[in-house]
Structure 1
Amino acid sequence: MNSNRLSRGGSLFGTDPQVQLRSALRTNDIATFKKLLGYGAVDLEYVYQYPDYKTCLELAVSEPHKKEFVKLLLQHEAQVNNVNETYGGAPIHLAVECGNKEALAALLEDDRIDVNVRCKGNTALLMAIKQIQDLDDDREHELEVYEHMIEMLLKAGCDANAPDQKGVTPIYSAAKQGLERVITYILDYCRDPIDLDAYTDIRGRSARYYLQEAFPHLVGRFKTMTEEAKEAVGVDKLFSYLSRHDEDKFVRDLGRLVQKNEHRPILASNNGMNTMLQLATDKGFEKVVSALLNSGADPNATCSGNNNRPVAIACANGYHKILRMYIENESTLFEPYNGESLLQTTVKNMRSAKHGPKVNYRDCLDLLFSLESIRKNVNYSDIKDNTALHYAARNGDNETVLYLLRKGACIGLRNKFEEPPLADINAKTLESYLDECIQTNGERPSDDGYEIHMKYSFLVYPNNSMENELWEVPLMDKSNNNNDLKEYDAILAPETEALLYMTGNEELRPLLAHPVITSFLYLKWQRISCLFYANITFYLLFWLCLNIYIISGYGVEYKQDKSLEALNAATHVIASIGLIMLVFRELFQLLVSPTRYLQSIENWMEIALIVVSAWIVCYDSAQESTKQQLSAIAILLSSAELVLLIGQFPTLSTNIVMLKTVSWNFLKFLLWYCILIIAFALSFYTLFRKDVEEDQRPPNPNAAPDADEDEDFFEDPGRSLFKTIVMLTGEFDAGSIKFSAFPVTSHIIFVVFVFMIPIVLFNLLNGLAVSDTQEIRADAELVGHVARVKLISYFESVLIGKMYTREMSCWSWLPASVRDVNVIKPQLLCIRPFARRISLFPFFLPKYRIVVKPNQGNRIEIPQPEPAGKYGDDDDVEGGRCCFERCQAYRLDRKIVKSAKLVISKKAHVSEFDEIKSKLESLENTLKSVLQAK
C-alpha cells in the first residue's frame, strides 16, 4: 500500500481531500494544492455545496490572483466547457463576469476551450460587452480590464456575430454604448464580415444607425456583406427568428437547409438555454415544431440550460396540438423524467395564468390517456411522493379530480408528509364520484335481470392492481416457486387506509355511509369476520379459564374435592396455553411496528394483563395478600379487555364509543376542575384533623376500647382527598364530621362544597354525558361504519404490515427511520395465507367491481377477467376464494341495496333536470337568433 496516497478517511492535511483542496485554494497554499492534485485523491468535477455551488475550477476563475491554480487544474484536465447548473455558465463566463483577465487568459490557452459556449444565450464576448454598461465606480480602470478581455476573446476566435436570445449582437451593444475601442477590436480581429443590420430595436435602430451617429468614420471600414452572406442560414439566425416570433421565416430557412442536406448539425444545436425544439414548444410555435419534427429533430433532446424535454414543455403549457405532434412522432419518449410524469406536469400547471386559443389542458389529458404507459402510471409518485391527484386536489380543480378518479387514480396514496389526496378533495366532489361508481345495466328495476354495478377502482393501490407489471409474468410458475411467491406477496397492500383517513376527517366522515363504501366494507367484513370470531373465541376461552382458576384454585390452601382439583388443573393448563398465545399475538404486533404499538393505551393494558397473568399461572408461592391483589387486578384487566374486544363488533360499537367518549370527556373536564377538589380536600384536612396535643396524650390502659368510635378520614392530606372524592357522589356521612372545632367556618365551607361539587359539578357531568350519548346515538349508523373501518384496518396492519394507528405528536421528535422501524415483515411468516385471504384486490375482485341483482335476493356476482385462468389453474389464486366460499352465495345487505337505489334514482332525476335545462337553453338561443334576424 502506498503510504503517500491521501484518502477521505484521513491524511496529513485533514479528513476530507475535497475540503482540503478548497481550503488550499482560498489560502493560496499552492504546495498543498499541487500535492492533492498529484496524489489523485480529489474529484475535480465535485460541486461544492452551500454557499458555493461551484467546482474547484469555477471557484478559481471566480477569485482574483488564482492564475497558477487555474493552470494546475487545466493541466490535470479539469472540464473547461461544462455549464454550471446553478449559475448557467461555463468557467469562461464566470471569469468574464468577475473581470478576472488572468484566469481568462489561462482558459484561452487551453486547446479544449470552446470560446462560443453560451451562458443564458450569451457568448463570453457578448457578456463582456454587456458588463461594461453596468460599471459604476472606478469605471476607467474596469473599462480597461473588460476591453482587454474583449480583445483576448476576439483573438481567440469568438464569433462577433453571435446574438443573444433576443437577437442583440456584440456590434450592436458596443455601438449603442459608444465603445470605440471595442468596435475597433471587432474590425481588427473578426475574420467574418459583420452584419450591422442583423438586429433592430423597438425603434427600428440597428448597429449601423448608432455607428453613423457616433463614429461615422468607422462605418466605411466594415466590409459590405454580399447577398449570399446575408442569405446564409445559421443557428443564430434561426434562433433570432424564434425570438422575434417569426415562424414563417424560420420554416422557410429551415426548408432551405433541408434541401441542401445541411440541417443535421443545426437541429442538434442550442443557444445555451434551449434547443430550437424546446424554445419553439415553449412559445407555442406549431408550424416550427412541425417543421423541426419532420426534419428529423430529436424530440427528446435537452441542453444544460434546460433539462425539460420538449413534450413536457408542451404539457406544462397546455399546447394540445403540439402534444399531438409529439405523440404521432415515433421517437418521442413518454416515460417520467426528472422524477415527474407528463401527467403530473400537466395537472400541476392547469391553474397557471396562461390562456389562449392554443391552450387546452383537458385535451392534453385526453391525449396523454390515449397512451398505455400513462394509463398504467396514473398513480405515479414524484420525489415528494405526490401523485397527479395530489396536485389536482391541492389546486382545488374539482373537474380534474373527477377526471383522474374516473381514470383510476387512487385516493389513499400518501406523500412524504403523510397526506393523501383526500386531504384536499372536496366532500361534494368525492360524493359525486361515488355516485358515478353506481351504475345499472339499463334494464327496468322490476326486471329479474336488473343489475346494479358498483366500482371500487379508487381504492386500488398501484402495487395491487391488475395492470401492474407483475401481472406480465405468471405468478405461480411451478419452476420457480420462491421468486413467484415473493412477487405474489408484493401485490398485497392495505385497502382501507383511505377509509381510515376519512374516519378522522369531519368533512369526509359522512361519506362512509355511501352505498359504495358500505358495500366495500361489507365484502371486507365477509373476508375478515372468521378471523375476528376466532380471535374473540380464543380470548373468551382464556378469560373464562383464567377467572375460574383465580376464583376456585389460586391461593386456596385447604384440600379440595378431586373434581374441583381436576377443574383447577385443567383451567390452569388452558390459561397457561392461552397466555402463551396472547404473548405471541402481542409480541408479533410489537415487532411489526414498535413505536406505534406503544402509542395505544389498550396495548399497555394487554401488556399489564400478560405480566399479572404470568405471575398468577407461574408463581403459586406468593403471600396471600399478594395473591389477593394480583387476582383482583387480573380479573379487572381481563374483563375490561374482553369488553373492548367484543365492542369492536360493528353492531355493538356505539356502546363502546359512548363509553370511551364519556370517559375521555369526564377526564378532560376533571383535570381542570380537580384544582377545586384538591382545594376542598386540603381545607377539610386543616379544619377537621385532630388536635396535635390531644393526639400526643398517652392512652388510658384501663379504658375499654370504643367499638363505635368513627374513623377519622381527615387525619392526613391523602385520606382527606380520598374522602372528598367519595363525597362527590353525595355520600357525605356528615354525622361523622366534627364541626364543633370551628362551627361557623366549617359549616360555610361544607355548604359551599355541597353546592359547588355534588350539585353543580355532578349535574354538569351528567349533562355532558347525556349530550355526548345523544350525539353518538344520532350518528349510530355512521359510528358503526367507523368502527368497522378501524377493525378491518387493524387486521390489515397486522397481516399485511401497514400501520393502523396514527402517529402521536409526542413521537414526532424521533427520526423517521426510528418511528417507522419494523423488526419483521408479516408477509414473510406463516400468516401469508391469512394476508391473502383478507385482501379483495386483485384476486377476489380482479375487475374492482361487483354486480348486485336486487330481484334475485340481492345476490352478488363477481366479474372475472377474460380469459379466465390466465395465471394458472389454482382457483385459490385465480379467485382468491377457498372451498367454503365457492359453495356459498354472497348476498348484499338490504339496507345497502336500498341506499344504492336511492342514489340511482337521484341521478336519474338530475339527468332529467339537465335534459330539460338544455332544451330550454336551446330554445332561448333559437329565439335570440330569430330576434337578431329581424
Structure 2
Amino acid sequence: MDVDDDDTEGQSPGRSSASQVGSCIQLLLEYGASPNLVDQCEFTPLHHVLKNRKIEAGTKLELIRLFLKQPQLDIDSYRNGQVRQMLREAGAEIDGERLLRTLRDGDENQFEQQFAEYHQNVSGNADNQCNANQEEYQSLLAESIKRGKQRAFEAILETGININPSKLSDISPVELAVIWGNHRALEKLLKHPQLRLTSHSKLLNAVISRLGEQPLDDFCDHQRCFQLLLESDRVDINEADKAGLVPLSYAVKYRNTKVARDFLRQGAYIGARSAFGDLPIQKMDPKVLEEHFDSCITTNGEKPGDQSFEIIINYKNLMRRQREPGRSDKRSIGHPHQLEDEMTPIAYIADSKELRYLLQHPLIPSFLFLKWHRLSVIFYLNFLLYSLFTASIITHTLLKFHESDHTGLTALFGLFSWIGIVYLMIREVVQLAMSPLLYFRSITNLMEVALIVLSILTCMEASYDKETQRILAVFTILLVSVEFCLLVGSLPVLSISTHMLMLRAVSSSFIKSFALYSIFVLTFSLCFYILFGKPQVDSSSPKNSTPEPAKEGEDESHFNTFSVPIEALIKTIVMLTGEFDAGDIKFDSVYTYLIFLLFVFFMTIVLFNLLNGLAVSDTQAIKAQAELNGAIVRTNLLTRYEQVLTGRDGHAQTSSSQLNKGSRFARERP
C-alpha cells in the first residue's frame, strides 16, 4: 500500500505508481477479495490506506471511495471502530485544528496541500483573514518552529502573517526559534522586513544559557543561533533583562570565555550596571580583558618608519550608545552625541586590585588623556577662580582681625571674597541640580557646604563677640586650605599627585592604627592623672588642713601636673611624640617611676616607631607605583566630573566627537 512520492523526481512517476496500485486493488475486489481481511494487528486494507502518510491526498481519496463502494465493507468491528473515526477526519473540512494535527504528525507534504487549500478558502474573506485566522496562523507558525518543519514554516510565512507579538506577554516567533534552537527559522525571521524587536526581546540572554545543553532534535543548534544573533544588526548586544544583566554578564556568569570574547569583539559595553550595581567585568578573568585590550590597538598596515604610519585605538567597549532595538546601527542611533557612563568601567578597574594594573595599558591612558583634554577647561577655570577666592578670603581675614589701617584694601578683598562665595554657591547649586542623589554622598561636597556657611559668617559684619568671630575665621581658613590642597593634588602632574596620595595613605594608615592603640593612650593618661594629678600638701601644715592655693607669682602649670583629666589625655598624646618635660613631673614613689618607664618603652619607643614604619612602608609602595597611582588619581577626578555632568539620568551632556576624532594617533620616528 505504501506509495512514496519522495523517491521519484517530479510528480508523474508517483501518480503512475499510485494509479497502478489502485488498479490492482480494484481487480482484487472484483474477483472476490474481501475488504475486511485483517493482519496480526487487526488492520484492514482501508485502515492501512487511511494511516499511510506517503499517499497523496487525491490518490488516498480515490482509494477510500473504491473501498466504500463495497457493500460488505465493515468499518466498525475492528479496533473499536477506529476506521470510521479516521474516515470522518479524512472527509472533514480542513480547519486550524486539523492542520495542527497534521503538522504534529510530521507529514509536511500533506500539510502543504491542506494548508494551500485552507488558505485559498479563507483568503476570499479579508476581514476573516486579518482577525480570526491570524491567531490560527500564529499557532501553526509556532508549532512549525518547535518541530523544525522548515517547509511548513516557509509556507505559513509566505502568507504575510504578522510575526510580531500583539501583546507584551506573548512570545514572538523569533524568541521561540531561539529557545528551541531552530537556526533555519531564526535566520529567515531575522531577515524578514516586518520584524520589530522590542526591549523585552532578550534573545542573546536566552540563547547563552542554552549553549551548553544537548540538542533536543536534529534541527536544534543553539550555537548557530548565537552566531546569527551576534552577526545581526537588528539585535542590541547590550540588551538588558529585568535584573539589568546584559549578555556579557551572562557569558561571565556561565564562565563561557569564548562567548565573552565574542561579545567583546563585537563591542559589548563593559560598564553596564545591573540592578545590584554589578559590572560585567566584575568576575571576568583579567587575562581575557587584557587580551581584548591588546586587540583594540592596531595599525593602518604601514611600516613604522613611514610618515603615514598610524596607530588606531578603538574605544568601542568603553562607550555605549542608546539605540532602538530591532534596527541596524546605521539607522538606529537615537542620540548620536549622547554618551553614558564613560568612566564607570575605568573607575571599577581603578578600585579593583585584580584589574588595577590594566590602567597602565595604552588603551586606558589614551582614553583618560582624551577625556581630560575635554574636561580640562572646566578644571582649570575652577582652579583659577578658587585660587583667587582663597587668596582673597585669607587676606581679608588677616586685615580684618589685625585691625589694619588700610580700610580700603580690606574692603576690596572683602568684595573679592563675596564674589568667590557667590561662585561657590552657584557651583554647588549646579552640582546639586545635576546629581542630587550623588551630591550628599560625597564628603567633599559636605565640606564645601560648610565652607560656604563659615565664609559667610566670617565676611559679614556680625553682632556676636570677637572671640567667636576669631574661632569661625580659624575654621574657615582651615577648610579653605584643605579644599585648596585637594584641588592642587588633582593637577595632572605626576609628582604632585604622588605626594597627595602619600598624604592620604599615611593619614588613613595612622588613623586606623591609632584608633586601635588609643586604648593604651587612654589607659596611661588615667594612670598619670591618678598618680601625678593629686593635690600637693605641705608637710609642715596640720593633717586636717586644706591645701593652700598657689601663690599669685608662682608658676605652676596644670598641664604638666596632670591635674585635669582632659589635659592629662592631651599631655599623654604630646608625650607620645617624645616631649616629656620630665623635670616638671613629681616622682614620689617607685611606682610612679615604673609607670613612666613603661609608657616610655611601649608608647614612645615601640608604638611611635611602629607608626613611623607604617608611614615609610606606605610611601615606598606609592613611589614604586607612581605612574599607576597617577592614573588612579586622574580616574577618580574624571569620574567625579562625569557624575556631575551626567546628572541623575546618567547621560552625558557633552559631545563624543572629540573622542571619536581622537581615537587615531599618528606615531613618527624621529
Indicate how the Cα distance of structure 1 residues 642 and 276 shifts in structure 2: closer, same or farther if over 3 A, else same: same
Measure the CA separation in 1 of the matches of 2:328 and 2:565. Answer: 71
Pairing partner for 1:676 from 520, 524, 541: 520
Name the counterpart of 2:228: 367
Name the counterpart of 1:555: 401
Measure the CA separation in 2 of the matches of 1:296 and 1:700. Answer: 109
Measure the CA separation in 1 of the matches of 2:357 and 2:527. Answer: 50
Residue correspondences, number: 580
- Displacement after TM superposition at 1:471 (Å): 9.4
Name the counterpart of 1:736: 584
Deviations 1:833-884 (A, max 9, x none): xx53xx4x1x3245x7622221178xxxxxxxxxxxxxxxxxxxxxxxxxxx
Are 1:256 and 2:102 an aligned pair?
no
Are 1:443 and 2:306 an aligned pair?
no
2:436–2:648 contact (8 Å) kept in structure 1: no
Name the counterpart of 2:197: 335
Measure the CA separation in 2 of the matches of 1:430 and 1:506. Answer: 14
Pairing partner for 1:491 from 338, 356, 360: 338
Are 1:635 and 2:477 an aligned pair?
yes
TM-score calculated relative to the size of structure 2: 0.76
Indicate how the Cα distance of structure 1 residues 707 and 230 shifts in structure 2: closer, same or farther if over 3 A, else same: closer
Measure the CA separation in 1 of the matches of 2:441 and 2:118. Answer: 72
Measure the CA separation in 2 of the matches of 1:252 and 1:269. Answer: 23
Quick one: which amino acid aligns to residue 397 of structure 1?
N
Pairing partner for 1:408 from 267, 271, 286: 267
Deviations 1:605-642 (A, max 9, x none): 32232222212211255534334323332222211211
Quick one: which amino acid aligns to residue 844 of structure 1?
Q
- Displacement after TM superposition at 1:396 (Å): 2.2
1:494–1:802 contact (8 Å) kept in structure 2: no
1:576–1:617 contact (8 Å) kept in structure 2: yes
2:95–2:118 contact (8 Å) kept in structure 1: no
- Displacement after TM superposition at 1:346 (Å): 2.6
1:267–1:292 contact (8 Å) kept in structure 2: no
Structure 1 residues 223-234: aligned runs within 5 Å = 224-225=83-84, 228-229=87-88, 231=90
Structure 1 residues 897-908: aligned runs within 5 Å = none
- Displacement after TM superposition at 1:288 (Å): 4.6
Quick one: which amino acid aligns to residue 451 of structure 1?
E
Name the counterpart of 1:320: 183
Pairing partner for 2:173 from 310, 315, 329: 310
Quick one: which amino acid aligns to residue 573 of structure 2?
I
Name the counterpart of 1:666: 510
Name the counterpart of 2:352: 505
Could you say what secondary structure the match of 2:563 adopts? coil
Measure the CA separation in 2 of the matches of 1:785 and 1:755. Answer: 42
Structure 1 residues 411-430: aligned runs within 5 Å = 411-430=270-289
Could you say what secondary structure the match of 1:542 adopts? helix
Measure the CA separation in 1 of the matches of 2:156 and 2:394. Answer: 85
2:372–2:638 contact (8 Å) kept in structure 1: yes
Are 1:844 and 2:658 an aligned pair?
yes
Name the counterpart of 1:766: 612
Are 1:614 and 2:456 an aligned pair?
yes
Could you say what secondary structure the match of 1:257 adopts? helix
Quick one: which amino acid aligns to residue 143 of structure 2?
L
Quick one: which amino acid aligns to residue 113 of structure 2?
R
Measure the CA separation in 2 of the matches of 1:287 and 1:472. Answer: 33
2:502–2:622 contact (8 Å) kept in structure 1: yes
Quick one: which amino acid aligns to residue 114 of structure 2?
L
Are 1:750 and 2:609 an aligned pair?
no
1:235–1:269 contact (8 Å) kept in structure 2: no
Indicate how the Cα distance of structure 1 residues 704 and 335 shifts in structure 2: closer, same or farther if over 3 A, else same: closer
- Displacement after TM superposition at 1:454 (Å): 0.8
- Displacement after TM superposition at 1:238 (Å): 5.6
Deviations 1:214-242 (A, max 9, x none): xxx99898585176436457766665566
Indicate how the Cα distance of structure 1 residues 220 and 631 shifts in structure 2: closer, same or farther if over 3 A, else same: closer
1:254–1:263 contact (8 Å) kept in structure 2: no
Structure 1 residues 582-601: aligned runs within 5 Å = 582-601=424-443
Quick one: which amino acid aligns to residue 536 of structure 1?
F
1:275–1:302 contact (8 Å) kept in structure 2: no
Pairing partner for 2:145 from 281, 286, 293: 281
Are 1:383 and 2:242 an aligned pair?
yes
In percent, how many aligned pairs have the same letter?
32
1:464–1:491 contact (8 Å) kept in structure 2: no
- Displacement after TM superposition at 1:280 (Å): 3.6
- Displacement after TM superposition at 1:284 (Å): 3.7
Deviations 1:222-275 (A, max 9, x none): 5851764364577666655666xx53xx2132033135346878986779xx93
Q: Which has the higher contact order (CA 8 A, sep 6+)?
A: 2
Name the counterpart of 1:716: 564
Measure the CA separation in 1 of the matches of 2:224 and 2:662. Answer: 28
Indicate how the Cα distance of structure 1 residues 255 and 749 shifts in structure 2: closer, same or farther if over 3 A, else same: same
1:647–1:653 contact (8 Å) kept in structure 2: yes
Measure the CA separation in 1 of the matches of 2:547 and 2:592. Answer: 28
Measure the CA separation in 1 of the matches of 2:245 and 2:79. Answer: 63
Measure the CA separation in 2 of the matches of 1:696 and 1:576. Answer: 62
Indicate how the Cα distance of structure 1 residues 657 and 803 shifts in structure 2: closer, same or farther if over 3 A, else same: farther
Measure the CA separation in 2 of the matches of 1:709 and 1:406. Answer: 75
Indicate how the Cα distance of structure 1 residues 440 and 620 shifts in structure 2: closer, same or farther if over 3 A, else same: same
Quick one: which amino acid aligns to residue 524 of structure 1?
K
Deviations 1:703-759 (A, max 9, x none): 67323667544112211111111111111112212220xx12222222222222112
Name the counterpart of 1:521: 368
Indicate how the Cα distance of structure 1 residues 533 and 432 shifts in structure 2: closer, same or farther if over 3 A, else same: same
Could you say what secondary structure the match of 2:664 adopts? strand
Indicate how the Cα distance of structure 1 residues 672 and 780 shifts in structure 2: closer, same or farther if over 3 A, else same: same
Could you say what secondary structure the match of 2:298 adopts? strand
- Displacement after TM superposition at 1:546 (Å): 1.5
Structure 1 residues 234-273: aligned runs within 5 Å = 239=100, 247=106, 250-258=107-115, 260-261=117-118
* Structure 1, 339-348 or 230-239: larger mean CA deviation: 230-239
2:350–2:356 contact (8 Å) kept in structure 1: yes
RMSD of aligned alpha carbons: 3.9
Indicate how the Cα distance of structure 1 residues 618 and 297 shifts in structure 2: closer, same or farther if over 3 A, else same: closer
Indicate how the Cα distance of structure 1 residues 556 and 622 shifts in structure 2: closer, same or farther if over 3 A, else same: farther
- Displacement after TM superposition at 1:358 (Å): 4.0
Quick one: which amino acid aligns to residue 598 of structure 2?
V
Indicate how the Cα distance of structure 1 residues 700 and 459 shifts in structure 2: closer, same or farther if over 3 A, else same: closer
Measure the CA separation in 1 of the matches of 2:152 and 2:564. Answer: 94
Indicate how the Cα distance of structure 1 residues 357 and 515 shifts in structure 2: closer, same or farther if over 3 A, else same: farther
Indicate how the Cα distance of structure 1 residues 704 and 369 shifts in structure 2: closer, same or farther if over 3 A, else same: closer
Could you say what secondary structure the match of 1:225 adopts? helix
Quick one: which amino acid aligns to residue 663 of structure 1?
S
Structure 1 residues 158-237: aligned runs within 5 Å = 222=81, 224-225=83-84, 228-229=87-88, 231=90
Indicate how the Cα distance of structure 1 residues 767 and 473 shifts in structure 2: closer, same or farther if over 3 A, else same: closer
2:190–2:234 contact (8 Å) kept in structure 1: no
Measure the CA separation in 2 of the matches of 1:795 and 1:535. Answer: 12
Deviations 1:351-376 (A, max 9, x none): 445477644444324433554432xx
Deviations 1:752-780 (A, max 9, x none): 22222112211211121122222222221
Could you say what secondary structure the match of 1:463 adopts? coil
Measure the CA separation in 1 of the matches of 2:85 and 2:329. Answer: 66
